[in-house]
Chains A and B, each alone.
Chain A
Amino acid sequence: MAINMPGVGPDAEGLSPAAAPAEDPAKAARGGGRTSPLKLYARRFARNKAALLGLVLFALLVFFSVFGRFLTHWNFTEADFTALTVSPGVSGHLLGTNAAGNDVYAQLVHGLGRSLVIAVTVSLLTTAIAGLFGTTAAYFGGKVERAMLGFVHFLLILPSFLIIALVGTHYRGEWQVLVVVLTLFGWMLTARVIWSLATSLREREYVMAARFMGVSPMRTIVRHLVPNIGSLLIVTFTLGVASTVQAETALSFIGFGVKQPDVSLGSMLADGQNTLSTAPWLFYLPAALVVLLTVAMALIGDGLRDALDPTSQSGGRA
Chain B
Amino acid sequence: MIEQRAVTTKPETQQPLLSVRDLKVAFPSEAGRVDAVRGVSFDLHRGKTLGIVGESGSGKSVTSMAVMGLLPDYASVTGSVTLGGDNLLDLDDRQMSKVRGRRIGMIFQDPLSSLTPIFSIGAQIVEALQIHQDISTAAAWKRAVELLDLVGIPNPDRRAKGFPHEFSGGMRQRAVIAMAIANDPDLIIADEPTTALDVTVQAQILDVLKTAQRETGAAVVMITHDLGVVAGSADDVMVMYAGRAVERAGVDELFARPRMPYTIGLMGAIPRLDDRARGALIPVPGTPPLLVDLPDACPFAARCPVVQDACLQGEPPLVALAGSDTGDEHAAACLRAAEIDGGAIGGTPIYPVPAVRESGVAAVPREDRPKVLELSGVTKTFPLTRGGLLKRKVGTVFAVNGIDLDIHEGETLGLVGESGCGKTTTLLEIMGLQPPEQGSIAVCGQDTANLRRRQDISAVRRNIQMVFQDPMGALDPRMTVFDILAEPLRAIGERDRRTLDTKVGDLMELVGLDPEHRDRFPSAFSGGQRQRIGIARALATKPQLLVLDEPVSALDVSVQAGVINLLNDLKAELGLSYLFVAHDLSVVRHISDRVAVMYLGRIVEIGATDSVFDDPRHPYTRALLSAIPLPDPVAERTRDRVLLKGDLPSPTDDRPGCRFVSRCPLHLTLSDPQKEQCRGVTPPLTARGGSDHRDACHFADTTTSTSVDN
**At the interface with chain A, which of B57-65, B80-88, B174-182, B578-586?**
B57-65
Instruction: Render A247-258 as a binary contact track against B, CB cut-off 8 A, 1 for contact.
Output: 000000000000
Instruction: Render A303-318 as a binary contact track against B, CB cut-off 8 A, 1 for contact.
Output: 0000000000101111
- Is the C-beta of B537 less than 8 angstroms from some C-beta in chain A? yes
Residues of B within 8 A of A313 (CB): 74
A227 touches B478 (CB 8 A): yes
A3 to chain B, nearest CB (A): 6
B487 touches A17 (CB 8 A): no
Residues of B within 8 A of A37 (CB): 521
B34 touches A17 (CB 8 A): yes
Residues of A within 8 A of B302 (CB): 29
B57's partner among A15, A28, A204, A224 (CB-CB below 8 A) is A15
B29 touches A315 (CB 8 A): yes
A4: nearest chain-B partner, CB-CB: B113
A15's partner among B291, B469, B479 (CB-CB below 8 A) is B291
Residues of B within 8 A of A8 (CB): 61-62, 65, 70-72, 75
B537 touches A209 (CB 8 A): yes
B126 to chain A, nearest CB (A): 23
A213: nearest chain-B partner, CB-CB: B488
Contact status of A212 and B466, CB under 8 A, knowing A15-B57, A15-B291, A317-B74: yes
- Is the C-beta of B110 less than 8 angstroms from some C-beta in chain A? yes
- Is the C-beta of B30 less than 8 angstroms from some C-beta in chain A? yes
Residues of A within 8 A of B76 (CB): 318
Instruction: Render B481-502 as a binary contact track against A, CB cut-off 8 A, 1 for contact.
Output: 0000001101110000000000
Instruction: Render A195-237 as a binary contact track against B, CB cut-off 8 A, 1 for contact.
Output: 0000000001110111011111000000110011010000000
* Complex Cα spacing A26 to B74, Å: 25
- Is the C-beta of A25 less than 8 angstroms from some C-beta in chain B? yes
Contact status of A20 and B537, CB under 8 A, knowing A25-B32, A212-B465: no
* Complex Cα spacing A209 to B28, Å: 35
- Is the C-beta of B470 less than 8 angstroms from some C-beta in chain A? yes
Contact status of A318 and B57, CB under 8 A, knowing A9-B72, A205-B469: no
A36: nearest chain-B partner, CB-CB: B521
- Is the C-beta of A35 less than 8 angstroms from some C-beta in chain B? yes
B28's partner among A10, A20, A206, A216 (CB-CB below 8 A) is A10
Contact status of A31 and B461, CB under 8 A, knowing A8-B70, A25-B292: no
B525: nearest chain-A partner, CB-CB: A31
A215 touches B477 (CB 8 A): no
- Centre residue among A20, A43, A215 by max chain B CB count within 10 A: A20
B468 touches A209 (CB 8 A): yes
A31: nearest chain-B partner, CB-CB: B524
Residues of A within 8 A of B478 (CB): 227-228, 230
Residues of B within 8 A of A22 (CB): 30-32
B461 touches A17 (CB 8 A): no
A36 to chain B, nearest CB (A): 9
- Is the C-beta of A21 less than 8 angstroms from some C-beta in chain B? yes
Contact status of A9 and B293, CB under 8 A, knowing A31-B524, A230-B478: no
B354 to chain A, nearest CB (A): 22
- Is the C-beta of B474 less than 8 angstroms from some C-beta in chain A? yes
A5 touches B30 (CB 8 A): no
B473: nearest chain-A partner, CB-CB: A205
A79 to chain B, nearest CB (A): 54
Residues of A within 8 A of B474 (CB): 205-206, 209
- Is the C-beta of B314 less than 8 angstroms from some C-beta in chain A? no
B71's partner among A2, A25, A209, A224 (CB-CB below 8 A) is A2
Contact status of A214 and B30, CB under 8 A, knowing A19-B523, A205-B470: no
* Complex Cα spacing A34 to B525, Å: 10
B293: nearest chain-A partner, CB-CB: A25
- Is the C-beta of A12 less than 8 angstroms from some C-beta in chain B? yes
B31 touches A5 (CB 8 A): no
B598 to chain A, nearest CB (A): 21
B65 touches A7 (CB 8 A): yes
- Is the C-beta of B170 less than 8 angstroms from some C-beta in chain A? no
A315 touches B465 (CB 8 A): no
- Is the C-beta of A278 less than 8 angstroms from some C-beta in chain B? no
Contact status of A10 and B70, CB under 8 A, knowing A209-B468, A318-B75: no
- Is the C-beta of A16 less than 8 angstroms from some C-beta in chain B? yes
Q: Which of B428-473 contact A (CB under 8 A)?
A: 431, 457-458, 461, 465-466, 468-470, 473
B287 to chain A, nearest CB (A): 8
Residues of B within 8 A of A230 (CB): 478
B483: nearest chain-A partner, CB-CB: A223
- Is the C-beta of A6 less than 8 angstroms from some C-beta in chain B? yes
B74 touches A18 (CB 8 A): no
Residues of A within 8 A of B27 (CB): 9-10, 12, 318
A212 touches B473 (CB 8 A): no
* Complex Cα spacing A18 to B29, Å: 7
* Complex Cα spacing A17 to B293, Å: 12
A232 to chain B, nearest CB (A): 13
Contact status of A34 and B466, CB under 8 A, knowing A209-B474, A228-B477: no
Q: Which of B12-50 contact A (CB under 8 A)?
A: 26-34, 36
* Complex Cα spacing A244 to B491, Å: 40
* Complex Cα spacing A3 to B470, Å: 23
B28 to chain A, nearest CB (A): 4
A19 touches B524 (CB 8 A): yes
Residues of B within 8 A of A206 (CB): 473-476
- Is the C-beta of A167 less than 8 angstroms from some C-beta in chain B? no
B61 touches A6 (CB 8 A): yes
- Centre residue among B490, B524, B537 by max chain A CB count within 10 A: B524
B109 touches A6 (CB 8 A): yes
* Complex Cα spacing A126 to B617, Å: 63
B473 touches A17 (CB 8 A): no
A139 to chain B, nearest CB (A): 14
B114: nearest chain-A partner, CB-CB: A5
B468 touches A17 (CB 8 A): no
A43: nearest chain-B partner, CB-CB: B30
Instruction: Render A30-47 as a binary contact track against B, CB cut-off 8 A, 1 for contact.
Output: 010011010010011000
A13's partner among B56, B290, B476, B488 (CB-CB below 8 A) is B56
A7 touches B62 (CB 8 A): yes
A68 to chain B, nearest CB (A): 39
- Centre residue among B61, B76, B492 by max chain A CB count within 10 A: B61
A20's partner among B31, B71, B476 (CB-CB below 8 A) is B31
- Is the C-beta of B117 less than 8 angstroms from some C-beta in chain A? no
B473's partner among A204, A316, A318 (CB-CB below 8 A) is A204
- Is the C-beta of B619 less than 8 angstroms from some C-beta in chain A? no
Contact status of A212 and B461, CB under 8 A, knowing A7-B62, A14-B56, A15-B57: yes
* Complex Cα spacing A25 to B289, Å: 11
A40 to chain B, nearest CB (A): 6
Q: Which of B292-347 contact A (CB under 8 A)?
A: 292-293, 302
* Complex Cα spacing A11 to B30, Å: 10
Residues of A within 8 A of B72 (CB): 1-3, 8-9
A12's partner among B61, B70, B290, B431 (CB-CB below 8 A) is B61
* Complex Cα spacing A316 to B75, Å: 10
A18's partner among B31, B61, B289, B457 (CB-CB below 8 A) is B31
B527 touches A14 (CB 8 A): yes
A132 to chain B, nearest CB (A): 17
Residues of A within 8 A of B476 (CB): 206, 223-224, 227-228
* Complex Cα spacing A214 to B460, Å: 10
B30 touches A213 (CB 8 A): no
Residues of A within 8 A of B287 (CB): 31
B31 touches A17 (CB 8 A): yes
A237 to chain B, nearest CB (A): 18
* Complex Cα spacing A37 to B478, Å: 10
Residues of A within 8 A of B458 (CB): 214
> Other CB < 8 Å A-B pairs besides A14-B57, A206-B474, A216-B491, 6 of them?
A8-B61, A13-B56, A22-B31, A28-B290, A34-B520, A228-B477
6 contacts between A and B (CB under 8 A): A15-B36, A20-B31, A22-B31, A216-B491, A317-B74, A318-B76
A-B pairs, top 10 by smallest CB distance, nearest first, are A7-B61, A17-B29, A20-B31, A205-B474, A17-B31, A10-B29, A10-B27, A205-B468, A213-B488, A318-B28
